[in-house]
Chains A and B, each alone.
Chain A
Amino acid sequence: MARIRLEELRKTFGPVVAVDDLTLSIEDGEFFALLGPSGCGKTTTLRLVAGLERPTHGRIFIGEREVTDLPPQARDVAMVFQDYALYPHMTVMENIGYPLRVRRYPRAEIERRVREVAEVLQIADLLDRRPGQLSGGQQQRAAVARALVYQPQAFLFDEPLSNLDAKLRLEARSFLKHLQKSLGITTIYVTHDQAEAMALADRIGVMDRGRLLQVGTPLEIYRRPRNTFVATFIGSPPMNLIRCRFHSAEAVLALEDGQAIALGERGEALRRAFRDGEPLWLGVRPEHLSLAEGPGPTHLSARVYAVEPLGVETLVTVQINNERIALRLSMDEPPVLREQVWVRVPMERALFFRENGELAL
């Protein structure tokens, strides 16, 4: 178990910058999720830590040891691949025991350890099978067992749940979290699924185009995304961004269609942050919006675009001018299609982003 430090890590493939000067410190025993859309460099970062790619620039430390120039064999980390990479010609027993076999453990010791891990992962009765005879969930467990068996310094997960069906994914998710917490092994977990990152991680690093945009606890990132990219990447449905213009004198935000929202108590703060007439993005989470009976200073007139009942709550999409806004409502009688409604915007919960996407307030 160890701390992992990445210092100004950079990796380019020809003209493409996959990882751009990334500096990050992951604490001992921490569950850290690297989150981002495909092609953002998160998997490359993981492969750099594993030693499967050589950095163009920068340094990597695992524990107190610099491993930048060490081959994967010498790094003492375990990796679980997206496709699991269980060797099809070996039994589950041989698969899990392989890391011990290459370390020349005695046969009896290998068998004892494999059984021990298989017991923990509840696959002890599958040890004689081949990977092809296992279900997706069992394969995933076998792959985790193979990573677990040699008690590495750190776990590296590359989207390990993406090949599972939705129900199994939830099960495997809680299982992974439980396992990681009880073992306390430093873990880097790569995913493009924000819900997975939120649910699993102690801290999340959001990446885009090779850059680390924001690092924080799931709630920090959810509540105060540093920019509009993070705001719209986290949450399902993502944060609503409404394009407005700030009118200093009246302390209102004017929408493009002429509607205005009163800023109330936040007007003073906005005056300090924005110039009069400056365009900005108003950010509100769907669960913070609600429907109002009639007009009001912070109410917007909108037309219902779609209604999606999800059981616990109802997802309502409304249209204001050309912009679509999502609401999560827990109501028994949701509005009907094309109905004209009033949407209440809670200014105390709203975030304000500059035109370039940076969070201002």
Chain B
Amino acid sequence: MSAFRMILSRLAFSIFTTLCGAFFALPMLWLLLAPFNARGTLAVEIPRPFTLENFERVFANTFAMRALLNSLILAGGTMITVTLVATLAAYALSRAEVPYYDLLTYGLILFSSVVTGTAAMVPIFLLANALGLVDTYLGVIMVFTGGLLPTAIFILRDFVEGLPRSYEESAMVSGASPWQMVRDVVMPLLRPGMMVVGIWTFVQVWGAFLVPFVLLRTPERMPAAIAIYSFYTEAGTPILTLTSAYALLYAIPVLALYLFVNARYGFRFFGGIKR
């Protein structure tokens, strides 16, 4: 009897997890199948007839293709800036034992959600305008950097705290200058944390719509998140064949970045010192 009950409960559990999995997998499946379907549909179905014509039409849209490059510039630029600045800041904040550090970061994180949020858009636009940064990549990158930096520092500080100080002390006694110590010892050991923050930043900017939409004017500078609307009809409904093809192209860089970083560096810590 109890064996029967066990099988039953396992069966119920399996069905439940399968349903959960399917719930999340279906949109992914749609993203993989719909671009190759000649008929625009919201249903997940085997493409019939199978076609590459959707991609031909997307590639022909030079504005949308240029937008993918713009997205790369914005996301890549922000990623590099945020990762570098956050690493150095987190290191300094952690090692210098700044009083009320926690309060400071929590406060900053709270405010940072305002920076990239809707509420601050008007003052940010005015500020960018006054600085002559409207319709520049730099302006967008700076706004994103300001918005993402506090959280990035917060994440990275945990990595810094996990780093035994004797590594740095050993380097100092060995004769390394502070900069040599950070470059040769601290940064390589923080690399897993930097990767996490880097990818997180990239994804945040890659998917962002509002900030570039407000700050950029020239169509040639618009990122993909905005350009996807060029596959909408005049009436504002998406042309499913084209949006799905473009969405697939749009998803590839993020996936590629993740796979590259995971293969090249791996999200792991080296481990050396026993504690």
Decide whether A and B are members of one complex.
yes
A interface residue numbers (CB < 8 A to B): 50-52, 71-73, 75-79, 81-89, 98-99, 101-103, 130-132, 146, 150, 156, 163
Contact (A99, B273) CB under 8 Å given A52-B169, A85-B169: no
A131–B174 touching, CB < 8 Å: no
Cβ–Cβ < 8 Å partners of A98 in chain B: 171, 174, 176, 184
What does DSSP make chain A's interface, helix, strand, loop or mixed? loop
Q: Which residue of B lies closest to A102 (CB)?
A: B176
B107 an interface residue at 8 Å Cβ cutoff? Answer: no
How many B residues face the partner with a CB closer than 8 A? 24
Contact with A along B179-219 (1 / 0, CB 8 A): 01000110011010000000000000000000000000000
Contact with A along B243-275 (1 / 0, CB 8 A): 000000000000000000000000000111111
- Nearest CB on A from B242, distance (A): 46
A88–B180 touching, CB < 8 Å: no
A132–B270 touching, CB < 8 Å: yes
Interface residue from B172, B271, B274 paired with A71 (Cβ < 8 Å): B172
- Nearest CB on A from B28, distance (A): 36
B177–A85 touching, CB < 8 Å: no
Cβ–Cβ < 8 Å partners of A87 in chain B: 167, 170-171, 184-185, 188-189, 272
B166 an interface residue at 8 Å Cβ cutoff? Answer: yes
Most A CB atoms within 10 A — which of B167, B169, B174?
Answer: B174
Cβ–Cβ < 8 Å partners of A99 in chain B: 174-175
B117 an interface residue at 8 Å Cβ cutoff? Answer: no
A150–B175 touching, CB < 8 Å: yes
- Nearest CB on A from B217, distance (A): 45
Interface residues of B in 224-243 (CB under 8 A from A): none
B167–A85 touching, CB < 8 Å: yes
11 cross-chain CB contacts under 8 A: A71-B172, A81-B169, A83-B274, A85-B164, A85-B273, A86-B272, A88-B189, A89-B188, A102-B171, A102-B184, A132-B271
Interface residue from B167, B169, B271, B273 paired with A72 (Cβ < 8 Å): B169
Cβ–Cβ < 8 Å partners of A71 in chain B: 172
- Nearest CB on B from A129, distance (A): 12
- Nearest CB on A from B189, distance (A): 6
B131 an interface residue at 8 Å Cβ cutoff? Answer: no
Given contacts A85-B164, A146-B170, 4 further A-B contacts (CB under 8 A): A50-B173, A79-B169, A85-B166, A102-B174
Contact (A102, B273) CB under 8 Å given A85-B167, A87-B185: no
Interface residue from A81, A89, A103, A132 paired with B170 (Cβ < 8 Å): A81
Assembly CA distance A130 to B270 (angstroms): 10
Contact (A163, B173) CB under 8 Å given A81-B166, A85-B166: no
Cβ–Cβ < 8 Å partners of B177 in chain A: 73, 102
Cβ–Cβ < 8 Å partners of B272 in chain A: 86-88, 131-132
A78–B173 touching, CB < 8 Å: yes
A89–B275 touching, CB < 8 Å: no
Assembly CA distance A163 to B175 (angstroms): 25
Q: Which residue of A lies closest to B169 (CB)?
A: A52
A72–B270 touching, CB < 8 Å: no
Assembly CA distance A52 to B172 (angstroms): 8
B172–A84 touching, CB < 8 Å: no
Cβ–Cβ < 8 Å partners of A89 in chain B: 188-189, 191, 270
B173–A52 touching, CB < 8 Å: yes
Q: Which residue of A lies closest to B166 (CB)?
A: A85
Interface residue from B172, B184, B273, B275 paired with A73 (Cβ < 8 Å): B172
